[in-house]
Amino acid sequence: MLSLINAMLVNGWLVLAATVLLRSGKTESQQGKQNYWQKEESRIRRQADRAGVSWGSSETKAIWLISLAVAGGLYLLTGNLLLFGVGWLLMLFLPRLVIQSRKHRQRLETLTALTDCLRQLSARLPDQGSLSRTMEMIIESDSRGETTAVLRKVLEELRLGSDVKDAVGYWRDEVGLRKFDHVAETLIQANADGWTPAALKALDKSVEALEGDLKAIQLVAQKTAGRKRQLYTAIATAWSFPLILSMMDTGYPNPYVYTFIGKLLVFAYVAVSLFVVVKGQEYLSLNVEEL
């Protein structure tokens, strides 16, 4: 009877994997009504859009298939039927975890590149006395840089006749970082004042403040990385207990492998570990919404 159940679960796992791979990518017009996988894929894509992260259906399928592969591998190693549920948990947790990680990394990279660009802008403006000419020089010196594409658009706005206030406002909206708002306002005011020494000094101070914020954020990120390592160490330590107990020769079969309570406990360990990792990432990671 148990062998029959195992065979049914393995077959179900294979059918599920094939469904994820073949059917989830079909459009609504092809199937008429969205199935569960399409709804989940749409939900994940909306979540990525809200986070400002590029995301495709191939990435969703890859995470789902990895989740199923992990669940199948754990079952083959342990024979624990409950560990098939790990695949479902990973399908729920992993996309959100990856999206948040990408969002965090992208916003820090954007802030770093923006700070470098503004430092060049502040340093070259006194000699050029023109925002458009200074932007041209920055683009020429760093044609493949992180902020070059946005600068090209801002420069195009200026060349099309937009005033500096509108062009810098467009730049601020494209960047989407709150830390940039004060610098943008100072830049607009410096242009209105005619790039006087006092205006340029105020701009330089606002850029220095942004650099200070970036250094503080990087320091917090380093401390957070250490705390995350402590979290992972604590989880590994918790997992050492069932592993050590499994190796003890008590004269009885391994309870974590051959008893239902033991199998349930192992599944609970896995589920709680995943939950702790996800929540730990949320609480320990820098709040990028404040950037």
pLDDT tens per residue, the chain (291 residues)? Answer: 445 555 565 566 566 666 665 655 554 444 445 677 788 888 899 989 988 888 988 898 889 888 888 888 888 888 888 888 888 888 888 998 899 888 888 888 888 889 999 999 999 998 888 889 999 988 888 766 667 888 889 999 888 888 999 999 999 998 888 889 999 999 999 999 889 999 999 999 999 999 998 888 888 888 888 888 888 898 888 888 877 777 776 677 777 778 888 888 888 888 888 888 888 887 777 666 666
Max Cα–Cα distance, the chain, nearest Å? 88
The answer to whether 75 and 81 are in contact (CB under 8 A) is yes
Specify the number of domains making up the chain: 1
125 in a structural domain: yes
Its domain, for residue 143, covers 110-208
| Three-class secondary structure of residue 56 per DSSP | coil
The answer to whether 207 and 119 are in contact (CB under 8 A) is yes
Q: Could you tell me which residues come within 8 angstroms of residue 157 by beta carbon, excluding any fewer than 6 positions away?
A: 166, 167, 170
Q: In angstroms, rounded to a whole number, what is the distance separating the alpha carbons of residues 168 and 158?
A: 9
Q: In angstroms, rounded to a whole number, what is the distance separating the alpha carbons of residues 195 and 216?
A: 29
Reported pTM: 0.76
